[in-house]
Amino acid sequence: MVEAAALARIEERRSEMTTREVSEERAAGVRAVWGLGDYHRFAKETVWGLGPELVAACGITAGQQVLDVAAGSGNVALRAAATGATVVASDLTPESLAAGRREADALGLEIEWVEADAQALPFGDGEFDVVTSSVGVIFAPDHEAVANELLRVCRPGGTIGMVNFTPEGLAADFFGLFVPYLPQQPADSLPPVMWGSEEHVRNLFGDRVSSLELTRRSYVESVGGGPSDYCEFFKQTFGPVIAVYASLADQPERAAALDRDFLEFATRANRGEPGGPAEYEYEYLLVVARKRG
């Protein structure tokens, strides 16, 4: 969903491009999509509570070298830095990095912010004690490349921690409702929720890890108001949703149909009390892996 429109355009001329050019074009498309809206506001009102949980699960402490990949505006990185760890936050989107810098400055935290593609990280082998990603790298299309990079930059005996939406949870339904309104995705682009499959994660990491803890958990999003307010919040803040609607600007009937489908989803999935704030429970897979020594 996140980059489908941009990727579809790339596919049209893929035969004329080198592998590197395709990768750079894809990254540019993803960067543009996630730069729309206000991701920092979105994250703080939805997934912000996952940061401290991942930091605790990975046992991040002072003195460690930590890399947070697809860091957004610092959900994990800020919390890791607060422990006294030395933290690098990498993300493909300059707007998110800028928001993270402002947040870090306000909190008096030192973090290095680096623009980088999760599929080709600009860091040395074994450079970090802990490598994390909270609902971030799952959106990169090449899962194998991401897994290889997470393992490569983690030191032997180090920790890799992730929070990944599951294919059985509400996130799959959320992303799925937009699929009919997008161009066909490239064949090699895997759904982000596959990262929430235990089998998929085991296959990606394989025997390169000495232990792999996989725990299913959930969190609740409540943006205030009812289902219609929930939809409007995403349309104002979440880049991928904004991009879908932008692609339908000259198709008012399809845009109206998407509005109906979106509201139907938000109404059906709402677990809040009648008359109260809408609430949405999202399942995720907490991944904690130890790289072989």
pLDDT digits (tens, 9 = 90+) for 58-76: 999 999 999 999 999 999 9
Give CA–CA dist 71/135, Å, rounded.
9
* pLDDT computed for residue 14 by the predictor: 44
* pLDDT computed for residue 10 by the predictor: 43
Residue 57 lies in a domain: yes
* pLDDT computed for residue 128 by the predictor: 98
Residue 251 lies in a domain: no
Tell me the residue range of the domain where 69 lies: 46-169+191-221+283-291
Residue 7 lies in a domain: no
Number of other CB atoms surrounding residue 5 within 10 Å: 20
Residue 31 lies in a domain: no
Residue 11 has pLDDT above 70, yes or no: no
Residue 272 lies in a domain: no
Lowest mean pLDDT across 163-167, 182-186, 289-293: 182-186
pLDDT digits (tens, 9 = 90+) for 172-202: 999 999 999 987 776 677 899 999 999 999 9
CA-CA-CA-CA torsion sign (99, 101, 105, 107): positive
Residue 152 lies in a domain: yes
* Residue 4 pLDDT grade (very low, low, confident, very high; cuts 50, 70, 90): low
Do 22 and 189 form a contact (C-beta atoms < 8 A)?
Answer: no
* pLDDT computed for residue 1 by the predictor: 53
* Residue 224 pLDDT grade (very low, low, confident, very high; cuts 50, 70, 90): confident
* pLDDT computed for residue 23 by the predictor: 58
Mean local confidence (pLDDT), 87-114: 98
* Residue 279 pLDDT grade (very low, low, confident, very high; cuts 50, 70, 90): very high
State how far the alpha carbon of 242 is from the alpha carbons of 8, 47, 233, 235, 238, in Å: 17, 18, 10, 5, 6
Residue 71 lies in a domain: yes
Mean local confidence (pLDDT), 261-287: 96
* pLDDT computed for residue 189 by the predictor: 79
Mean local confidence (pLDDT), 125-154: 97
Residue 65 lies in a domain: yes
The proportion of the chain whose per-residue pLDDT surpasses 70, expressed as a percent, equals 90
* pLDDT computed for residue 24 by the predictor: 66
Residue (of 18, 27, 143) closest to 90 by Cα position: 27
State how far the alpha carbon of 174 is from the alpha carbons of 45, 197, 207, 278, in Å: 17, 17, 33, 15
Is-above-0.95 flag for pTM? no
**Cross-sheet strand order for the sheet of 128-134:** 111-115, 86-91, 65-69, 128-134, 154-165, 280-291, 209-221
The mean pLDDT of the chain is 92
Residue 100 is part of a domain; what is its CATH number?
Answer: 3.40.50.150
* pLDDT computed for residue 93 by the predictor: 96
Residue 6 has pLDDT above 80, yes or no: no
Domains identified in the chain, total number = 1
pLDDT digits (tens, 9 = 90+) for 21-69: 555 666 787 889 999 999 999 999 999 999 999 999 999 999 999 999 9
